[in-house]
Structure 1
Amino acid sequence: MRQLVYTGFMSLDGVVDSPGGQAEGHRSGGWVINDIEFLPEAFSLKGEELADTTALMFGRRSYEAFAPVWRDSDDHAAYRDLPKYVVSSTLRDDELTEGWGETTILRTEDDIAALKKSDGGAIFIHGSAELARRLSDAALIDRYHLLVFPVLLGAGKGLFSGADKAKQGLILRDSAAYPNGVVKLIYDVAG
């Protein structure tokens, strides 16, 4: 069974949108780049993940934001040839970004569950707050890789929904705190 891993930057109050800019129209957009001292060790998790990443998954909006930039970025060159999955009920094949490797559109949570049962390694979800909330509520996420930043944003897209659902336990796999206030938290979903 393939693991589905959410990886992302999160404010202490749970906001995950617009960490590097104002693409979502968030008034505090750029909160990672603008507000936190850059320490390479605090971001080392992103490099460590590459060894485990066998495929990428995005919601439609994150795919449309990342694909044209990451396709041409030297910092994301390792992602170019990885299979990519976009979860969307409306995206058409002719709207996919050319030159960024094999990309498959998944339409439903059943498609995602079937993908998890296929052969292969971990699939990492980047960005995609709405998708992550849906998949968490459907108990399809297996692990969380979070870099939590010492900022309270007060508004924005949260990683977790407010849905009344069964309790979901987490098991701490790894953690670290850095002098700039960033905390790395890696949790496996229990069960």
Structure 2
Amino acid sequence: MRRLVYTGFMSLDGVVDSPGGPGEGHRSGGWVVNDLTFVPEAWSLKGEELADTTALMFGRRSYEAFAPVWPGSADHADYKELPKYVVSTTLSDDALVDGWGPTTILRSTEDIAALKQSQGGAIFIHGSAELAARLSDAGLIDQYNLLVFPVLLGAGKSLFGRADRDKQLLTLRESESYSNGILKLVYDVRH
């Protein structure tokens, strides 16, 4: 069975949208890079993930944001040929970006559950807050790799849904704090 891993940046109050810049939609967009001292080791999780990533998964909006940029980005070169899965009920095959590895559109949570049952390694979800919340509520995420930033943003997209659901326990696999206030938290979901 394949593992589904959510990886992302999160504010201390749980907001995950617009970490890279204001053009992403949040009025405080760019909160990851704007106000903190750069500490290289705080970003080591991103490099560590490369060894485990065998495929990427995105919601439609995140795919549309990343697909024009990541294929030509030196920072994301290792992802270029990996299989991609885009979860969308509206995206058409002709909207997929050429030259960014094989890409498959998944139309439902059931499609994702079936993919998890297939052979292969870990699938990492980048961005895609609404997709991650839906998959968390469905019990399909196996691991969370989070870099938590010392900022409170108030409104914004949350990684976790607010639906009344059964308690879900997590096991802390790894944690580290850095001099600029960022926390690395890696949790396994107990199924």
TM-score class, shorter: over 0.9
Q: Name the stretch that deviates more: 56-65 or 24-33.
A: 24-33
Distance 1:102 1:84 in 2: 6
Instruction: Deviation per CA, 1:120-148: give whole Å up to 9, x if none.
Output: 00000000000000000000000000000
Aligned residue pair count:
191
In the aligned structure 1, how far is the partner of 2:148 from the partner of 2:178?
A: 11
How far apart, in 2, do the equivalents of 1:91 and 1:173 lie? 36
Report matched runs for 1:94-173 at 5 Å: 94-173=94-173
Q: Which runs of 4+ in 1 moved over 6 A?
A: none
Q: Does 1:86 align with 2:86?
A: yes
1:5-24 matched pairs, under 5 angstroms: 5-24=5-24
Counting only pairs closer than 5 Å after superposition, residues 42-53 of structure 1 correspond to structure 2 as 42-53=42-53
| Cα shift readout 1:139-186 (whole Å, capped 9, x = no counterpart) | 000000000000000111010111000000000000000000000000
Distance in 2 of aligned mates of 1:59 and 1:2: 18
Shift of 1:23: 3.4
CA distance in 1, matches of 2:173, 2:45: 13
CA distance in 1, matches of 2:127, 2:112: 17
Q: Which moved more, 1:48-57 or 1:18-27?
A: 18-27
Secondary structure of the structure 2 residue equivalent to 1:55: strand
Q: Corresponding residue for 1:68?
A: 68
The CA RMSD measured in Å over matched residues stands at 0.6
Give the Cα separation in 2 of the matches to 1:24 and 1:168.
30
Distance 2:99 2:21 in 1: 25
Question: Which 5+ residue runs of structure 2 have no aligned equivalent?
Answer: none
* TM-score (normalizing by structure 2): 0.99
Cα distance, 1:38 vs structure 2: 1.1
| Residue identity in the other structure for 2:138 | A
Shift in Å at residue 37 of structure 1?
Answer: 1.3
User: SS at 1:154's partner residue?
Assistant: coil
- Taking structure 1 as the reference length, what is the TM-score of the superposition? 0.99
Deviation at 1:68, TM superposition (A): 1.1
Percent identity between the two aligned chains: 76
**What is the CA–CA distance in structure 1 between the aligned matches of 2:54 and 2:97, rounded to whole Å?**
19
What is the aligned partner in structure 2 of residue 3 from structure 1? 3
Q: Deviation at 1:115?
A: 0.2
